[in-house]
Amino acid sequence: MRTKEIRVKINEFKNLDELTGNFKDLLIKSREIAKNAYAPYSGFFVGAAVLLEDGTIVTGNNQENAAYPSGLCAERVALFYANANYPDIPVTAIAVSAIGKNGQIPDLVSPCGSCRQVLLETESRFEKPVIVILDGNPIQLLEGVENLLPFGFRPHALK
Ligand code: THU
């Protein structure tokens, strides 16, 4: 038997001001768009802001439905919009923020498994790492989706 370990790298930031230029703006945008989420069932408002390689920023938020599984997470709303409208422009980064039932940003805002899988696909599609910025206390920055979904299922597996 042989045992392997996979390490992930997480960069922590105490607050918004510790983040630099583009990434600070991106997180501010994800905080803003979280307020427009349609989340009458969970009361959990999530916002995502996607930065494209040409500087374009696309935002999205969670859209819930009375038929619960018909809703969609903020990350996928934003990523699918980006890929639908800018299919040839690589995604550089995504920031994710949330407002919990108490009106505060939760300490940890972490994408669900399905959103991680879509992020992995985005990386594969453009063959570039996507930087993931997760709001909370601390704010966390991952330098690629491998750090969020190690050992993931990639398109290569279908070849
Ligand atoms: N949600 C997101 O939008 N993104 C995540 O990463 C986690 C969960 C949404 C889905 C649902 O509308 C609500 O948060 C509660 O799960």
Domain residue limits, the chain: 17-151
Please give the model's pTM, rounded to 2 decimal places.
Answer: 0.96
Alpha carbon distance 127, 61 (integer Å): 25
- CATH architecture type of domain 17-151: 3-Layer(aba) Sandwich (3.40)
Residue 65: predicted pLDDT: 98
* Residue recorded with tokens 């960069």: 11
| pLDDT beyond 90 at 115 | yes
Q: What are phi and psi of 46, to 5 degrees?
A: -120, 140
Of 53, 64, 75, 127, catalytic? 75
pLDDT digits (tens, 9 = 90+) for 127-139: 999 999 999 999 9
Are 142 and 132 in contact, with CB atoms under 8 Å apart?
A: yes
Residue 2 CA to ligand 1 center (angstroms) comes to 37
For residue 65, count other CB atoms closer than 10 A to its CB: 12
pLDDT digits (tens, 9 = 90+) for 32-88: 999 999 999 999 999 999 999 999 999 999 999 999 999 999 999 999 999 999 999
Per-position b or e across 13-29, b if 16+ CB within 10 A of its CB: beeeeebeebbbebbeb
Active site (annotated) includes residue 143: no
Residue 93 CA to ligand 1 center (angstroms) comes to 19
| 101-104 own/partner pairs: CB under 8 Å, 24+ apart | 101/43, 101/44
Residue 41: predicted pLDDT: 98
Residue 44 CA to ligand 1 center (angstroms) comes to 7
Alpha carbon distance 95, 33 (integer Å): 11
Pocket test for ligand 1, best of 35, 73, 132, 134 (most atoms within 8 A of CB): 73
Ligand 1 binding pocket, CB closer than 6 Å: 39, 42, 44, 46, 62, 64, 71, 73-75, 111-112, 115
pLDDT digits (tens, 9 = 90+) for 6-39: 999 999 999 999 998 899 999 999 999 999 999 9
Q: ∠ CA 75-33-66 to the nearest 5 degrees?
A: 65
pLDDT digits (tens, 9 = 90+) for 96-113: 999 999 999 999 999 999
Q: How many helices (H) and strands (E) does the chain have?
A: 3, 6
Rounded to a whole number, what is the largest CA-CA distance in the chain?
52
For residue 38, count other CB atoms closer than 10 A to its CB: 12
Residue 21: predicted pLDDT: 83
